[in-house]
Amino acid sequence: MNEVRHVEERKAVLSLAGVNEKEVLDIGAGPLAIMAAQNYDCFVTSIDVDTRKLAEYERQAADAGVAEKISFEEADASDLPYCNDAFDISICFGALHHIPAELREQAIAELARVSYERFVVAEFTPAGFAELHGGDAFTPVDLAELERLLNGMGRFSVHQVEQMMVYVFDKTC
């Protein structure tokens, strides 16, 4: 796995999302929340169902000096405990394939519901998925099906960033 490439992918996604000084929901605890708080002056709520992962990234946020800008919460992306339009922007970076296939559509609907300005789904291309999860039990996201689902919700843009496809759904259009 190429860590430098993954850092660049996260930076590109944060730029495409336009997160500067915004309230951001991050689906799946990871380095994205720390980068957003450090480099884009965001306030981030980072959710995950894995409490160990939440604790690990909470420690990393403290070490990076941004703990006061990130709230780490246990929550299920397919049943978010937040009100409509609770966040300016929501991002699901490489996390959709961690959600059971039968709950992915509901997770996207929840992402849309809690996002005021826009939401972003970034998922690996088949080559990127194979590099990261080849042999794991995860099921890759069918990107064509994801595009069909998003088409039914309105207008969005698609960007390829390295081995990820990034879907930016702007609710203000």
The sheet with strand 87-93 has its strands ordered as 70-74, 43-48, 23-27, 87-93, 115-124, 164-170, 156-161
CA distances from 85 to 55, 98, 121, 137, 171 (A): 27, 24, 17, 33, 10
Convert the chain into a string of H (helix), E (strand) and C (coil): CCHHHHHHHHHHHHHHHCCCCCEEEEECCCHHHHHHHHHHCCEEEEEECCHHHHHHHHHHHHHCCCHHHEEEEECCCCCCCCCCCCEEEEEEECCHHHCCHHHHHHHHHHHHHHEEEEEEEEEECHHHHHHHHCCCCCCCCCHHHHHHHHHCCCCEEEEEECCEEEEEEECCC
- Structural domains in the chain plus CATH codes: 3-170 (3.40.50.150)
Distance of CA 92 to the CA centre of its chain: 2
* Confidence (pLDDT) at 3: 67
99 and 69 Cβ atoms separated by less than 8 Å: no
Q: pLDDT tens, 16-46?
A: 999 999 999 999 999 999 999 999 999 999 9
Q: pLDDT tens, 107-158?
A: 999 999 999 999 999 999 999 888 887 667 788 999 999 999 999 998 999 9
Per-residue pLDDT at 6 exceeds 60: yes
Per-residue pLDDT at 56 exceeds 70: yes
Average pLDDT, the chain: 94
**How many angstroms separate the most distant Cα atoms in the chain?**
42
* Confidence (pLDDT) at 1: 47
Q: pLDDT tens, 70-107?
A: 999 999 999 999 999 999 999 999 999 999 999 999 99
